[in-house]
Amino acid sequence: DAGVIQSPRHEVTEMGQEVTLRCKPISGHNSLFWYRQTMMRGLELLIYFNNNVPIDDSGMPEDRFSAKMPNASFSTLKIQPSEPRDSAVYFCASWLAGGLGTQYFGPGTRLLVL
Amino acid sequence: GESVGLHLPTLSVQEGDNSIINCAYSNSASDYFIWYKQESGKGPQFIIDIRSNMDKRQGQRVTVLLNKTVKHLSLQIAATQPGDSAVYFCAENNAGNMLTFGGGTRLMVKP
């Protein structure tokens, strides 16, 4: 298995631009999580999906952030418009809920908003 | 790639020594605990887990100890190697599929 796949790995954009981060979970996993990691706040859960349905989005910072999971093998996290304070590493993780094991993380997308 | 806080606790050990990384968790109802390792520029990687009905679990060179009385979790690494240098996070499962992560500890291994 290729593990959780994220793209792009690095993104540099200007303030006000739209940013779309992509994630492909591990095949067969039915839960997907988006996290943000910063030096100041550590690892924060933004939103998670179970069977493609958003379950908890209380961690989404504000309306500029949105996430979708149109099918079991793909999810996006969109920031529109982006701001410098959104600069962080964004991780996607997947899990087979109800099974053994834990969340498996992707390599992350390093976002820099200028 | 810097990925953790400036004020991260740091444990410095000599190569070949044993390392012990500690974590205090918050929710007495948590029933599942995990240790992750994060190397620079990479995502957190699963190391070992333990359920609340156990107090010890061993893996290859790693042991996790759980003390539910004081809500304390520890990760022991035997014969620490330079490749063990990373940030280590504990996480607790206390609400369905969601994990709550600790702040992390940076392990530095001196050759």
Question: For position A92, what pLDDT does the model report?
Answer: 97
> Residue B78: what are its φ and ψ, rounded to 5°?
-85, 145
pLDDT recorded at residue B94: 74
Please report the pLDDT score of residue B103 as a whole number.
Answer: 87
A45/B99 CB distance under 8 A = yes
Q: What is the mean pLDDT of chain B?
A: 90
Count Cα neighbours of B18 within 13 Å in the Cβ-side half-sphere: 8
A96: closest chain B residue by CA: B97
Residue B95 reports pLDDT greater than 70: no
Contact B97 A37 (CB under 8 A): no
CB contact under 8 A, A55 and B89: no
Q: Is the pLDDT of residue B97 over 90?
A: no
Q: How confident is the model at residue B2 (pLDDT cuts 50, 70, 90)?
A: very low
Which residue in A41, A48, A91 is closest to B43 by CB distance? Answer: A91
B17 or B7, higher pLDDT: B17
Q: Are A42 and B2 inside 8 Å of each other by CB?
A: no
pLDDT tens per residue across span A31-46: 999 999 998 888 999 9
**pLDDT tens-digit profile of A61-109?**
889 999 999 999 999 999 999 999 999 999 999 998 766 668 899 999 9
User: Which chain A residues have a beta carbon less than 8 Å from that of B49?
Assistant: 102
* A48·B98 Cβ contact <8 A: yes
- B66 pLDDT band, cuts 50/70/90, is very high
Query: Do B34 and A107 count as a contact with CB atoms less than 8 A apart?
Result: no
Nearest to B105 by CA among B14, B27, B24, B26: B24
CA-based nearest distance B70→chain A, Å: 24
What is the chain B residue with the closest CA to A106?
A: B43
Residue in B closest to A107 by C-alpha? B43
- The chain B residues in contact with chain A (CB within 8 A) are 1-6, 32, 34, 36, 42-46, 49, 89, 96-99, 101, 103-104
Question: Which residues is A13 bridged to in the sheet?
Answer: A113
Phi, psi of B8 (to 5 degrees): -70, 130
Instruction: Give the distance from CA A101 to its chain's centroid.
Output: 20
Residue B83, helix vs strand vs coil: helix
